[in-house]
Structure 1
């Protein structure tokens, strides 16, 4: 372990009794890891390892030990905090040392292939360059990033770290992307908050294990402020077109500003980071515009909308609908839930999602503690979960689930249904899917969704509405439901940049290349579109664990490696060959053929394109994706 500087912990600012009290409630395995980092002495692993066991603390394993051992450990940590220690941004040079610490901190064995990945995901050091940084890009080299959400901000941070000039275009007035625009009641994400951050900027202050959207937005705003990102953003500016200019070897960026004026600027590289779920999808319901009450799409929520005492219908049963129902059920007079198809819903595993005060205190005051919390949240939802999406043909032949691992999740969800609604009840039948878990994105109950469906003033319609009229909704069997508000939680169009006019070499249109089955190579590269790296590219989202931020950071690392390769080869353009792209996509499709998404034909899911191909998730382990994006394969690329 190396340190760039040493500082002395200011224990005078902390109440000694409070310090000791909080440390005695800490995760014992993490405390050992912290102790080793503070002292540089790995002997603590040998002294404490056999006295620490692990108990489930979803999604992690919590380290526990006997009071006497804990008292000794706490005392050593306090002594280490009082001595000169590494600065708060931890730096590891010794991967072998980390490999000794990690199993004790994480509560499970750690295969050697994961060590470098874990160092990065824990924020212990930034993504490490693979190609030597022996050449520089031209001084006027510029990257344009489309979108200031998490993906665009991650790309911007890496450009800044590499000393590359960049500019972000965003149609909104603030950073944040989805977290800025989506404000419906109960909005959140099912990725644990401790992990749902950028590894360069770990947030130690989450109030909840699964916070509301406003807290995520606040985090992203803080990242932008801390790193001076807003100075590089053109807010209120929408990119309408990206056209490759063969003469300049640059991209034309056609944009319209807040005053409606259009202009064209140029960039050597473009990174579209706008996501693929941006445009609200309204259902094609007869009479939808005739309703005399309030109609609102969840993606265009009116913050002034008051649901108190209203007769409300919500159309949809996905994650958004679940969150809205959970948040609003006690406000409305009556609620009708229209579900086209039920989802598998996993129970909340804690009595409360609030992060305990002692854990927040430890994250804030104990060096490295928040890093390990982030890493434990990642590890608890990482590749140990990969078998859940893989089909076991022998098992699947006579089970609804596709494998023994998948069946564990199915049985947990079925048990939850039975506990809330009663085994065999009509309501239980309505909410039970006919496909294996993960066939559609599994939903985490925020805490009160299933309970809400069982309330006396809530009805569940196991079908879509037949039509809408001025009074409300007519059901498939002809019943009239009078309403004050209709909420459309019907998702988004799967756009994959279809709202931007993107033209590559010789005017080749990306929309025509992709048709209804988009695909891409590593780094979101597409043949015929040089110097373009699509952040939210096809097959770039983890389907079995981690979170959106994992795919984002893997992709951005790969982009930086490609730019360094351009510098080393003095190349103006970099482009994947058609053969390499086809081979890469074939690998994805071959692996995908053995996943749950290809063996649950009854599941209606946005994972599947109009052409039937699974286009959002990747079928591989996280470690496989991470390793395959460490550095470009030069023979797959044309550099000119």
Structure 2
């Protein structure tokens, strides 16, 4: 992707491409820019190190719920995963390995949060204001801006009156302090989602008392985690074709599940039976069994994997509280029936705000439109989750409706990266100032997307973070990764406008 456009631009740029975020998305973008011959780029990272979600989430038990060998780039398969479902530190180590191997480390600007981005229609240039230490410029200009800020980034906090009055320690799972001791303390965990079901079995033996505040019981399938021995790892290393075949089998096994999520939710009944058998095999008490049995269709909320969660809830020092929280005060939590739970530590396992990554960014496109304001409202739309009308030369990775309930998100990332690379190539081939998706194309795409969502399990009646306040799916891709790859594989220039074409 040789930059040939600077010679006719009237406004000088500091970098051709700026990527924001150094998690899986940002690194994939950086690596592929280099692969296609573009070396004039930087990656802005607000923290002191790369890794995104896997740098920040360090609560006990943190691990991926996608099979390890599928949770890696297709261009950098890892035959050395230690477990079927890898812990956070091992995933973080993999990301550091990729950054080193593909020589993108020199492009990383740490402690450099993007504060404001403003688009100039005359030049087609983005002007970025950057915070952090002044070893880097405070203001830079670029011809393309790629937001790889992720969806699992900004913690979501419960709407619990008095939370700020609690005199003990309050910690969100996304901001876990490894030095914090729970030994002999009365601990409360709010939430029973993915983070909590991993955390609770790990901290239950440490706490004097542990109260789990459950709003809705999750559907949980057996995790069947296992260690990969030295022989298996060596075989995968020495026989790449065997490793590819294993990865492929994981992919198609996961991909086959999509029909249950999309067109035929009744297929979930078979999976529900497996989950119920799992629950009943681990919980004998009928009262507890009733509290832990979901009353919504499986898949409407995120399906969890765990073998040790139900046993942890049955420890003598653990209590499950299903009465809604009324308020929090200085000494603990009071539920709606007046019951008080005195606590020393309150853990918030309440997940993430999927639009929160953009709420703190001022991204001003054409006519002063603010992307953060629009996406934290009820207008969170894009074309293929990557291009946004009104914001030329700007792309997003894992933008709206690119989430998956059945397979690895890295598949979506790589498909989007390829699309963005082709869009930039086409812009430069036409010697244009900018590339922007047509408004009517974006609107038509989203109408079709919401039409396909109607018959899906995600709109089957439960309330989840997949839906906005009006009940519209803004998070999940209502289809297979095969269909997404098909739509992103061939860049369609007729769906975009190329402004300022020079001859």
Superposition TM-score, scaled by structure 1 size: 0.74
SS in 2 for 1:474: strand
Q: Give structure 2 stretches of 5+ with no counterpart.
A: 7-12
Is residue 276–residue 497 contact of structure 1 (8 Å, CA) maintained in 2?
no
1:588-603 aligned within 5 A = 588-599=449-460, 601=461, 603=462
CA RMSD of aligned residues (A): 1.9
Is residue 385–residue 400 contact of structure 2 (8 Å, CA) maintained in 1?
no
* Partner Cα distance (1:483, 1:580) in 2: 53
Aligned match of 2:292: 431
The CA deviation at 1:535 is 0.5
The CA deviation at 1:441 is 0.6
Aligned match of 1:279: 154
Give CA-to-partner distance per residue, 1:155-190, whole Å, 9 cap, x none.
001100011121100001111011111111111111
The CA deviation at 1:136 is 5.9
Could you tell me which of 83, 87, 90 is aligned with 1:215? 90
**Bigger relative contact order, structure 1 or 2 (CA pairs below 8 A, ≥6 apart):** 2
Is residue 523–residue 534 contact of structure 1 (8 Å, CA) maintained in 2?
yes
Give CA-to-partner distance per residue, 1:572-629, whole Å, 9 cap, x none.
2111111111111111011111101111x2x231111123211111111211110110
Is residue 342–residue 430 contact of structure 1 (8 Å, CA) maintained in 2?
yes
The CA deviation at 1:363 is 1.6
Give CA-to-partner distance per residue, 1:483-539, whole Å, 9 cap, x none.
221111112222252211011112222245443230111351111111111102101
Aligned match of 1:453: 313
Give CA-to-partner distance per residue, 1:291-317, whole Å, 9 cap, x none.
332221111111111112222110000
Aligned match of 2:268: 406
SS in 1 for 2:199: helix
- Structure 1 residue 421 and structure 2 residue 283: aligned? yes
- Structure 1 residue 388 and structure 2 residue 256: aligned? no
Is residue 523–residue 559 contact of structure 1 (8 Å, CA) maintained in 2?
no
The CA deviation at 1:138 is 3.2
Is residue 387–residue 406 contact of structure 1 (8 Å, CA) maintained in 2?
no
Give CA-to-partner distance per residue, 1:96-115, whole Å, 9 cap, x none.
xxxxxxxxxxxxxxxxxxxx
Distance 1:292 1:513, change over 3 A: closer
Larger radius of gyration: 1
- Structure 1 residue 138 and structure 2 residue 15: aligned? no
Aligned match of 2:360: 499
Is residue 136–residue 564 contact of structure 1 (8 Å, CA) maintained in 2?
no
Aligned match of 1:614: 473
Is residue 115–residue 361 contact of structure 2 (8 Å, CA) maintained in 1?
yes
* Partner Cα distance (1:516, 1:506) in 2: 19
* Partner Cα distance (2:446, 2:416) in 1: 16
The CA deviation at 1:212 is 1.2
Aligned match of 2:435: 574
Give CA-to-partner distance per residue, 1:335-363, whole Å, 9 cap, x none.
11001111101112x3x521233211212
SS in 1 for 2:77: coil
* Partner Cα distance (2:5, 2:321) in 1: 61
1:268-347 aligned within 5 A = 268-347=143-222
Aligned match of 2:238: 365
Distance 1:472 1:486, change over 3 A: same
Q: Which runs of 4+ in 1 moved over 4 A?
A: 259-262
The CA deviation at 1:422 is 2.7
Give CA-to-partner distance per residue, 1:186-223, whole Å, 9 cap, x none.
11111100110111211111111112101111110111
Could you tell me which of 81, 85, 92 is aligned with 1:206? 81
Aligned match of 1:587: 448
1:148-163 aligned within 5 A = 148-163=22-37
The CA deviation at 1:279 is 1.9
* Partner Cα distance (2:358, 2:482) in 1: 28
Q: Give structure 1 stretches of 5+ with no counterpart.
A: 1-132, 393-401
